[in-house]
Amino acid sequence: MARICIDARPAVMARGTGIGNYVYQLIHFLAELDQENEYYLLWPDDGTDPLLMPPNFHHRPITRNRREEAVELPRWLEESKIQLYHAPDNGLHAFPAASCPLVVTIHDLIPLVMPETVRRGYRRTFLEKVPEVAQQASRILTVSQAAQRDIHNVFTIPYERIQVIYPAPELVFVPGNLQRARHKLYVKHGIARPYVLYTGGLNPRKNVVELIYAFAKVRKHGDKSLLLVILGEFSKGMEDLPGLCRALGVDKAVIFPGFVPMEDIVTFYQGAELFAYPSLYEGFGLPPLEAMACGIPVIASPVPSVTEVALQAALLVNPEDTTALVEQLDRGLRDMPLRQILSQRGRAAIAPLSWENTARQTLAVYKEILGDSTEKPNGR
């Protein structure tokens, strides 16, 4: 029996984001798989109620203030005789000098690869923290082969220390009845017409501006009743997307519902004609796979989730080629046999992915490192 600590704070503080969902799903499926080891979940110290977990899972409230955390966390890890610490949020809350082996999940290197798309404060913290943590971690977990290559090339870390473990769509993403989904959306959001859907965050890297341009052209020469639904809250620099829509004459056709809860996101997928994801860069990119899980045809740039998992199940497009995006949107809306093929292929492509598999592979890494740490000081 080993004592394993996981920083679970993103599961509470960032639920709904890629990293928050990753941590949430990982700890829940570890709880189903492992009744042998003792787990200590770092938890917000703001009075947030602990998750209901099995008896071998414990919660440890701790600050997110970096200066205080840098003193408190390493001391607690040593005093509690923690034997492995997993920092799943790119290592931003990892402390390599701690007294136990360190596992870090690095989801992507966006602050290094596309620094102009990241908030300045986050970029500075990432550059100060992650390179050191990556060098000193016993193992780096990442979510795609593309991210693995980036980590290897940028940090010159051997491939054998970087393990790819794919995430998966959550179990709630399943096909639904189109008319029932549309009725729910009409009642709750006033959306009654066919629509193309985008979800996955609103920042320059997501290339939503290009999608709006392409949609305006598709609608001009096609179905005038078609809508574009863009989910998510505006990030800095993206607040004037409604202004762009007005300038293009599609302000009545582009809907911005803002933040929506998970159950509504599922309904938006189930009611969509098409899902479009023209992102410029992703460490993985779950939204295309979520759409596939719901049986929705997908148009996407060559993000890892598609190229590594579901290459034959989506229409690929150069995200910086507006003409190509227009053509693929038009094709995906009009070609009914193709839409049916994409729906079937998408569901088949993602079938092998599950959070249980993700947790099982992660647990295997823990066990391997814990075995090594009995022979090597600090497991490094």
CA distance 351 to 168: 9
pLDDT of the residue at 379:
41
Q: Is 81 left (phi over 0), alpha (psi -120 to 50) or beta?
A: left
pLDDT of the residue at 144:
97
CB atoms within 10 A of CB 223: 14
Let me know: does 118 contact 37? Beta carbons within 8 Å.
Answer: no
Let me know: does 22 contact 105? Beta carbons within 8 Å.
Answer: yes
Instruction: For residue range 199-232, list pLDDT tens digits in order.
Output: 998 888 999 999 999 999 999 888 889 999 999 8
Q: Do 160 and 211 belong together in one domain?
A: no
Q: Do 369 and 322 belong together in one domain?
A: no
Query: To which H or E segment does residue 192 belong?
Result: none
pLDDT of the residue at 222:
82
Q: Do 13 and 160 belong together in one domain?
A: yes
Q: Do 205 and 331 belong together in one domain?
A: yes
Give 64's pLDDT tier (boundaries 50, 70, 90): confident
* Residue 335 DSSP SS3: coil
Q: Is residue 314 domain-resident?
A: yes
Mean pLDDT of 369-375: 73
Mean pLDDT of 310-332: 95
Q: Do 346 and 359 belong together in one domain?
A: no
Q: Do 12 and 110 belong together in one domain?
A: yes
Q: Is residue 113 domain-resident?
A: yes
Instruction: For residue range 115-161, list pLDDT tens digits in order.
Output: 988 888 999 999 999 999 999 999 999 999 999 999 999 999 999 99
- Total domain count, the chain: 2
Handedness of CA 261, 14, 198, 141 (dihedral sign): negative
Min mean pLDDT across 15-19, 298-302, 309-313, 325-329 is at: 15-19
pTM of structure: 0.92
Q: Do 314 and 334 belong together in one domain?
A: yes
Q: Do 142 and 210 belong together in one domain?
A: no
Copy the structure tokens of residue 376. 């090597």
* Cβ-Cβ contacts under 8 Å for 184 (sequence gap 6 or more): 267, 271
Whether 3 has a pLDDT exceeding 50, the answer reads: yes
Could you say which DSSP state residue 37 is in?
A: S
In this predicted model, which residue has the larger pLDDT, 263 or 246?
246
CA distance 31 to 322: 46
Beta bridge partners of 105: 141
CB atoms within 10 A of CB 193: 14
Whether 378 has a pLDDT exceeding 60, the answer reads: no
CA terminus-to-terminus distance, the chain: 20
Q: Do 138 and 186 belong together in one domain?
A: no
Q: Is residue 324 domain-resident?
A: yes
List the CATH number of the domain containing 110: 3.40.50.2000
pLDDT of the residue at 65:
85
Give 97's pLDDT tier (boundaries 50, 70, 90): low
Q: Do 315 and 345 belong together in one domain?
A: yes
Beta bridge partners of 227: 195
Let me know: does 283 contact 295? Beta carbons within 8 Å.
Answer: no
Instruction: Find the domain containing 300 and state its range.
Output: 178-350
Whether 377 has a pLDDT exceeding 60, the answer reads: no
- Residue 145: burial class (beta carbons within 10 Å; 0-12, 13-18, 19+): middle
Q: Is residue 103 domain-resident?
A: yes
Whether 375 has a pLDDT exceeding 70, the answer reads: no
Radius of gyration of the chain (CA): 22
Pinpoint the alpha helices (H) of 44-109.
66-79
pLDDT of the residue at 373:
58
Q: Do 182 and 105 belong together in one domain?
A: no
CA distance to 146, 205, 299, 328, per residue, from 217 (Å): 32, 22, 16, 12
Whether 264 has a pLDDT exceeding 70, the answer reads: yes
Mean pLDDT of 340-361: 97
Q: Is residue 173 domain-resident?
A: no
Q: Do 218 and 106 belong together in one domain?
A: no
Looking at every residue in the chain, the average pLDDT score rounds to 93
Q: Is residue 210 domain-resident?
A: yes
For every residue of 221-249, which 3-state class applies, written as one string? HCCCCCEEEEECCECCCCCCHHHHHHHCC
Q: Is residue 184 domain-resident?
A: yes
Q: Is residue 212 domain-resident?
A: yes
Copy the structure tokens of residue 3. 């004592």
Percent of all residues in the chain with a pLDDT value above 90, rounded to a whole number: 80
